[in-house]
Structure 1
Amino acid sequence: MRFLRGYIRRIDAMNRRIGRVMMYGIFVLMGVLLWSTVSKAFFVPSLWTLEMAQFVMVGYYILGGPYSLQLGSNVRMDLLYGDWSLRRKAWFDLFTVCFLIFYLCVLLYGAVSSTAYSLGYWGTEPFSFFGGLVTGAEEIGHMEQSSSAWRPYLWPIKVVMIVGFVLMLLQCLSELAKDVLRLKGEAI
């Protein structure tokens, strides 16, 4: 039980810090969109603003998601759930978080595969590709770029997605541990 409490404390603290920093990402997004508006009105329109706004929004959403889950501010159907006892909520959350963990594992596999592809890997084993990059057995190939006029490399935003999915997975495991402690009747 001490291990679970330590895990919860560390993961919650890490995701709280990251989430609090990412809350200010909305101001970065507003700045990019403001510059887009000003440049279109008074100067030559900037090519990078639309895609940069999309990239900032992805980071804001994906890296802020674990903090949102931690706070319980995610969307949930509260027709029955709000009237349940803490024990019944813990059982229901324990059951449903398993589906979320499975879904996040699928998303993580897709993000790793997509990131490997964006780094020029054409094979079917993306995890071994990244292992090969670390050991020097693999090389980065022709890197994927956006098809827009700005043509940024896509691997940085895909790495952000991997980090976000890992953080969300860790937070889901923290929520699972909280439910287990609640069901055992122990304080969190």
Structure 2
Amino acid sequence: MPNIIKSYVRGVDALNKFTGLVTMHLIFLMIGLLLYSSISRTIFDTPINSVVTISQFLMSAYYLLGGGYSMQQDAHVRMDLFYSRWSPKGQAGADAFTSIFLVFYLVVLLIGAISSTVYTIEVGQKTRTLIQYPLAPIKIIMTLGVVLMLLQATATFFKDLAKARGVTL
């Protein structure tokens, strides 16, 4: 494999690893927020109206930004009818082949995400809750998550292609 591809794979892997390790801590922030809300509601009888909305935003960011890291760590769900019986080179070849479809799907998803983000920013779209939060930040995070996943999918494609050829990246 050319050095540019090796550098690309290393760079994308580092970026998604950093993003995934930072993002995984959002779950603790969400748990703390929900715990605080529960305590304030039951003990102090002062409910916080926006906790659910903020928790949904945090969970969305957690899910969307962690996709590339999940793919990099091979932590996603795989249907395994025949796959486990194949050789590592055969598995890598099948993974490289199916990555083409994943990249196509992610490109279409990215086009939709960009369109949705631009619309949200132009219109000033907000949540339909008591406190109307702007949706632009979560839409930007959504688009960034799709970009990270697309970058990781192409890096994984190159790794699988190299593995199918018997080369390690």
Which TM-score band (shorter chain)? over 0.9
> After the TM superposition, which parts of structure 1 deviate over 2 Å for at least 4 consecutive aligned residues?
none
Corresponding residue of 2:101: 99
Mapping of residues 12-91 of structure 1, within 5 Å: 12-41=13-42, 42-91=44-93
**Which stretches in structure 2 are left out of the alignment for 5+ residues?**
none
* Structure 1 partner of 2:130: 149
Supply the distance in 1 between the matched residues of 2:104 and 2:33 (Cα, whole angstroms). Answer: 35
Contact 2:92 2:161 in 1 (8 A): yes
**CA-based RMSD:** 1.1
Match of 1:184 in 2: 165
Aligned length, in residue pairs: 167
Contact persistence 2:83–2:91 (CA under 8 A): yes
Q: Give the partner amino acid of 1:165.
A: V
- 1:43, CA displacement in angstroms? 3.1
In the alignment, what sits opposite 2:112?
110
Calculate percent identity across the aligned residue pairs: 42
In structure 1, give the amino acid aligned to 2:166: G
Structure 2 Cα separation of the partners of residues 76 and 67 of structure 1? 16
Give, in angstroms, the shift of residue 184 of structure 1: 2.3
> Normalized against structure 2, the TM-score is what?
0.94
Question: 5+ residue gaps in structure 1?
Answer: 121-141
Match of 1:8 in 2: 9
Distance 2:111 2:34 in 1: 32
- Which residue identity lines up with residue 95 of structure 2 in the other structure? D
Counterpart Cα distance in 1 of 2:52 and 2:29? 13
Residue 162 of structure 1 corresponds to: 143
Q: Deviation at 1:107?
A: 1.4
Give the Cα–Cα distance (whole angstroms) in 2 for the partners of residues 119 and 10 of structure 1. 30
